[in-house]
Amino acid sequence: MAQIAPSILAADFLHLEKDIQLVNRCGDIIHLDVMDGTFVPNISFGFSVIDQVARIATAPMDAHLMVVHPERWVEKIAKDGVKMCSFHWEAAGRNTSRLIERIHALGMQAGVAINPDVPVSRLYPYIGKADYFLVMSVFAGFGGQKFIYETLDRVAALRAEIERRGAKALIEIDGGVNLGNAQTIREGGVDLIVAGSAVFGAEDPAAAISALRGA
């Protein structure tokens, strides 16, 4: 069954504790979207928020770094107790393998993320190295965008390549997931589903998480 990672980008920052406790109780993973205003045309939050989330998180934290120099931040991310740390291939380029190793050395699972306009084959060199791949289903930068359906073909191609090589890696999808398309996405064979507005914009976020999970 796919795990649900609510993105707190869509949470109520005036009552963040309430939303983190909800994810602790009902979600599987806390997805933290870190944006620097340069890699993406938006700024989200940094360590002033992550440090506080870490104090009360009991669900594992998954940091999605949408920043130009991800290598600068992984050590501090690890110190906050984050379990999963992904960065964009577009930002790391030929340092990708080295950064995966660094993230592993810091005791975290390493994920490589790509935007919808990057050929999915760019991820293939990291099969057998990365623990997970974050295939963006919208362009990184904002919550509340529309799901790009071609992403499911990219997920299928990546899955086939992982299997062809006899390797293991989880596939995470991020952006535009809602109650209307969740079943199709689950059937697309993803392991982790990120959802921001579909969870925190819902009248009953706990029920939304169950519905996204298909349970």
Q: Give the list of residues 6+ apart from residue 30 with CB closer than 8 angstroms, or none.
A: 5, 6, 8, 20, 23, 24, 53, 57, 59, 60, 61, 62
27 or 176, CB closer to ligand DX5? 176
Pick the closest to residue 62 from 20, 29, 101, 22 (CA basis). 29
Least distance (Å) between residue 170 CB and ligand DX5: 16
Least distance (Å) between residue 7 CB and Zn ion: 5
36 or 101, CB closer to ligand DX5? 36
Contact pattern for Zn ion over residues 8 through 47, marking x by CB under 5 A: -------------------------x--------------
Dihedral through CA 141, CA 95, CA 172, CA 49, nearest 10? Answer: -50
**Could you list the residues that contact ligand DX5 (CB under 6 A)?**
7, 9-10, 31, 33, 64, 138, 140-145, 174-177, 194-198
88 binds Zn ion (CB under 5 A): no
Give how far Cα 78 sits from Cα of 31, 90, 117, 163, Å. 15, 22, 29, 30
Q: Hey, which residues between 168 and 197 contact Zn ion (CB under 5 A)? A: 174
With CB atoms as reference, the residue minimizing the distance to ligand DX5 is 196
Respond yes or no: is residue 33 known to be catalytic: yes
Contact pattern for Zn ion over residues 56 through 85, marking x by CB under 5 A: --------x---------------------
Catalytic-labelled residue, pool 19, 36, 131, 174: 174
**197 touches which of ligand DX5, Zn ion, none (CB within 5 to 8 A by kind)?**
ligand DX5
Respond yes or no: is residue 174 known to be catalytic: yes
Least distance (Å) between residue 178 CB and ligand DX5: 8
**211: enclosing H helix or E strand:** helix 205-213
- Bridge pairing between strands 109-114 and 84-88: parallel
Q: Give the list of residues 6+ apart from residue 112 with CB closer than 8 angstroms, or none.
A: 86, 87, 88, 89, 92, 96, 100, 123, 126, 130, 133, 134
What is the set of active-site residues? 33, 174
Residue ranges that bind Zn ion, judged by CB under 5 A: 33, 64, 174
